[in-house]
Amino acid sequence: MYGNDSPGEDVPGDLLSEVEAAEAALRAAAERDRGAADPGADLAAYFAEIIAADQKIEPRDWMPERYRRTLIRQIAQHAHSEIIGMQPEGNWISRAPSLKRKAILLAKVQDEAGHGLYLYAAAETLGVSRDELVELLLDGRQKYSSIFNYPTLTWADVGAIGWLVDGAAIVNQVPLCRCSYGPYARAMIRVCKEESFHQRQGYELLHTLAHGTPAQKAMAQDAVDRWWYPSLAMFGPPDSDSTHSAQSMAWKIKRFSNDELRQRFVDMCVGQAEVLGLTIPDPDLRWNDERGAYDFTQPDYDELMRVISGDGPCNRQRMAHRRRAHTEGAWVREAAAAYAAKQRSREKVTA
């Protein structure tokens, strides 16, 4: 069971039904009366009460300044990840091996742009503008997911990204569908439904390669070998080193720790890899009867820190590309704004 934080509830185990369960819970919470209808003088107590009752905090509710700042940081970096994440896959659009695969990849990259947009919109409900957030990204003061700093070297990488990267993203994001901040939870529900398509198309792509010629199978295995550990690292540093975790969990922004989610992802992937006929590149991966989970080799967290701090294989390339698009697009944005202003002034004259 993934992302099920209300024990006793009968929720089927696959990720998409988890999302639907979260959506139902969101609707139910909205229909339930809030415990205390009147915030009264003690806003902090009222906030705590809403969180405790699993109600949603909405944009116009009072919230602690640190809750607001944490959410802005998290949602913005999530949005940046969607936008930067278009680059590694976009790299293969013009070289996709068939028209069908090309159309699928185009639809997927279009989804990523949409996800960025939903998330920027959710961040804006916290009183920050998208332009400011884009500035923070371009100045290198806000980050994006470490995973997009790895290169896509072969067509099979598109499949490995779908299966492993989007798979890890879903494991991470499904619990966020129950996040205490309403606009973020609603955005995550939309995102997760579409992300499921990405994960499955990636899996199907790898499955086709793994059951093709020996060269195709070797290409699929090589992609899985390169993307496995960076995908494990997507869940962030181990719980012992995670700076924001405890507070985020108390506020019900996060529902599970980095290590819990990473374990869940590994347990999920093992069976899926068997069906693919591919191996996970970890000689120490084995079932642990006592824990009821797989033991596995942790990713290299020193490498993760290097990549996050800007020194991964593609950091410079990704940021340079994003900055170039922004700078070279400036005249187009100005033209659109000038045209809109002219239309508005004409309407005023005729009105």
Partner 1 sequence: MSQESSPLWEVFVRARRGLAHSHVGSLHAPDAEVALRNARDVYTRRQEGVSIWVVPAGAITASSPDEKDAFFDPAADKVYRHPTFYEVPEGAAHL
Question: Which residues sit at the interface with partner 1, rule CB under 8 A?
Answer: 37-39, 58, 60-61, 110-111, 113-114, 117-118, 121, 124, 129-131, 187, 190, 330, 333-334, 336-337, 339-340, 343-344
Closer residue to partner 1 in complex, CB, 37/349: 37
Question: In terms of CB distance, is 135 or 239 closer to partner 1?
Answer: 135
Say how far apart CA 351 and CA 34 lie, in whole Å.
46
Which residue lies nearer to partner 1 by CB, 126 or 147? Answer: 126
DSSP bridge partners of 59: none
Closest approach, Cβ 166 to partner 1, in A, equals: 17
Burial class (CB within 10 angstroms; exposed 0-12, middle 13-18, buried 19+) of 333: exposed
DSSP 8-state code for residue 57: B
Nearer to partner 1 (CB atom), residue 126 or residue 232: 126
**107/326 Cα distance (integer angstroms):** 23
The C-alpha atoms of residue 41 and residue 145 are separated, in whole angstroms, by 40
Q: Judged by CB, which is closer to partner 1: 42, or 334?
A: 334
Closest separation in Å from C-beta 113 to partner 1: 8
Query: CA quadruple 130, 136, 140, 141: dihedral positive or negative?
Result: negative
What is the smallest separation between the CB atom of 105 and partner 1, expressed in angstroms?
15
CB of 2 to partner 1, least distance (A): 23
Residue number, 42 or 58, with CB nearest to partner 1: 58
**d(C-alpha 63, C-alpha 71), whole Å:** 11
Paired with 181 in beta bridges are 57
Q: How far is CA 43 from CA 50, 220, 250, 307, in A?
A: 11, 55, 17, 40
Q: How far is the CB of 194 from partner 1 (least distance, A)?
A: 8
Find all residues with CB under 8 Å of 310, minimum gap 6, and list them: 140, 316
Which residue lies nearer to partner 1 by CB, 73 or 193?
193
In angstroms, the CA 286 to CA 295 distance is 5
CB of 129 to partner 1, least distance (A): 6
In angstroms, what is the minimal distance from the CB of 32 to partner 1? 15
